[in-house]
Amino acid sequence: MEFEVWWLLAIPVIFGCGWVAARLDLRSLLSESRNLPASYFRGLNFLLNEQPDKAIDAFIEVAKLDPETTELHFALGSLFRRRGETERAIRVHQNLLSRDDLPQADQEHALYELGHDFLKAGLLDRAEDAFSRLHTGAYAKAAQHAKLTIYQIEKEWRKALAEAETLSDLDPAVSYRKEIAQFHCELAQEALQRKDVEAVGHELDAALAVNPANVRAPLLRGDMLLAAGDAEGALRVLRTIEAQNPMYLGLAAKRVMKAYEALGRASEGVTMLRDALRKNPSDDLLEIVYEKTLSLEGPEAALQLMREQMHRAPSAPGMARLLEAHAATAHGDTQSDLQLMGKLITQRTKSLPRYVCDQCGFRARLFYWQCPGCNGWETYTPRRADVPAAT
8 Å CB contact between 226 and 258: yes
State how far the alpha carbon of 115 is from the alpha carbons of 81, 101, 128, in Å. Answer: 11, 21, 7
Is 17 annotated to bind a ligand? Reply is no
Q: Classify 357 as helix, strand or coil.
A: strand
Residue 87 to residue 229: CA distance in whole angstroms: 55
Is 360 annotated to bind a ligand? Reply is yes
State how far the alpha carbon of 266 is from the alpha carbons of 235, 254, 259, 272, in Å. Answer: 12, 12, 9, 10
Q: Classify 315 as helix, strand or coil.
A: coil
Q: By C-alpha distance, which of 120, 178, 118, 128 is closest to 150?
A: 128
User: What is the identity of the amino acid at 103?
Assistant: P
Half-sphere CA count of 9, side-chain side, radius 13 A? 6
8 Å CB contact between 357 and 371: yes
Q: By C-alpha distance, which of 97, 93, 96 is closest to 77?
A: 93
Residue 354 to residue 387: CA distance in whole angstroms: 8
8 Å CB contact between 332 and 321: no
Binding residues: 357, 360, 371, 374
Binding residues for Fe cation: 357, 360, 371, 374
